[in-house]
Structure 1
Amino acid sequence: MIGDVSRETQGLLDAYQEILIRWNTKINLVSPSSIPQLKSRHIDDCLQISAYAKPDKGIWADLGSGGGLPGIVLSIIFASRPIRFILLESDQRKATFLRSAIRDLGLSNAEVRNSRIEAVEPLNAAYLSARALAPLPRLMPYLDRHLARNGQAWLMKGEKWQAEVDEARQHWKFRIEPIASRTQTGAAILKISEVSDA
């Protein structure tokens, strides 16, 4: 879907998928009904970001990482780049899963912080991502807190993304580049930058 990945990278993505399926019987990381379509509905969905984002260095903050979508997927794809992934997850059980998966996959570029997003010191992240976390108006204070001045946020949003953008613009200024999702009709990846109070 996003072009060829190396055999090693594909092996890690396959291993991550197996780990996620195994843990999902104990912790609800993704909807059990979506497990048969795990690759297409979740992993391939997250891989879309790597077709557009071109990170070169710095911190990548993944907000509300949950099952590692997209944080772990992106840390696998960008493992050869000098990017440090910080996965923020307030649920202790999910944070335990993330740490276990990172250890099992040997991802030296990723770490987990078991904390609420608003309680973490500003990360000055060059890149930021979030998927199925909250409506855009609720995400904007997190972007304002954790995104570097010249940073880029990559937010995965559903069919109502335009309404969320319109509401967020009532209180915030930002530059936005919507990218149509290849895995869900009407959904979009929003590249957001230049965030400030309206």
Structure 2
Amino acid sequence: MTSHSLEQLDVSRETIERLRTYHDLLLKWTSAINLISRSTVSDAWDRHIVDSAQLFKLLPPNATMLVDIGSGGGLPGLVLAIMALEQRPRLQTILIESDQRKATFLRAVVRDLSLNAEVRAVRIESVTDIACDVVTARALAPLPELLPFAKALMKPEGVALFQKGKGAGEELTSARQKWKFEVEIHPSLTDPDGRILEIKDIARADQ
């Protein structure tokens, strides 16, 4: 997928330029901090930027707060915040990343691109003052570990968007041993083995 494909996803030229700026910063900082795997640097645009951008079309239309947990280098949180700047200016993004060096990078991008975003350099479980519309995570943890975070951070009617690889089915089976939830599975546009799990109505199975 190329920047032309992003135009097909209704991404403007200005937004693509901002995403390019972020992409370049991501690669520059990765030489000092492990923001993305070194093996993916050469195709970081498709593997990371476009892969994250595909979540934007799944955001609820009236969402005003998105929380990205374990943000790392800002994937998908910063990508979505950049896309929201023009298309969804009321959407605030909160990036939770406990690694102080990565949080410093996230704050630098937020400042440089004037994003409607906030960075919290804390552990996810310590955040207790949020009730958001959307929770996102990419390559953070298995689904059974993500669900309690999502439930704690989301409004009851909120939605979680989790990007998973070919083990998505096994993670769903494992998660259902302790959790009840509704799920819609979307194919990834960038990875034939990838899946996007759109999860709602999360509750403990014993409730």
Q: TM-score, normalised by structure 2?
A: 0.92
The answer (yes or no) to whether the contact 1:62–1:87 under 8 Å persists in 2 is yes
Amino acid at match of 2:141: A
Runs of 4+ in 1 over 6 A off after TM superposition: none
Q: Calculate the aligned-residue CA RMSD, in Å.
A: 1.1
Matched with 1:111 is 118
CA distance in 1, matches of 2:130, 2:61: 16
Q: Deviations over 1:141-197 (max 9, x none)?
A: 101111110001110011100100011011111100000112112210000011111
Q: Deviations over 1:21-75 (max 9, x none)?
A: 1101110000112111001111110011113324423210000000000000000
CA distance in 1, matches of 2:31, 2:193: 31
Q: Tell me the SS of whatever aligns to 1:179.
A: strand
Matched with 1:15 is 21
Gaps of 5+ in 2: none
Gaps of 5+ in 1: none
Q: How many residues align?
A: 197
Q: Tell me the SS of whatever aligns to 2:95.
A: strand
Map 1:26-175 onto structure 2 (within 5 A).
Answer: 26-80=32-86, 81=88, 82-107=90-115, 109-175=116-182
The answer (yes or no) to whether the contact 1:122–1:145 under 8 Å persists in 2 is no
CA distance in 2, matches of 1:72, 1:55: 19
Q: TM-score, normalised by structure 1?
A: 0.96
| Identity within the alignment, % | 45
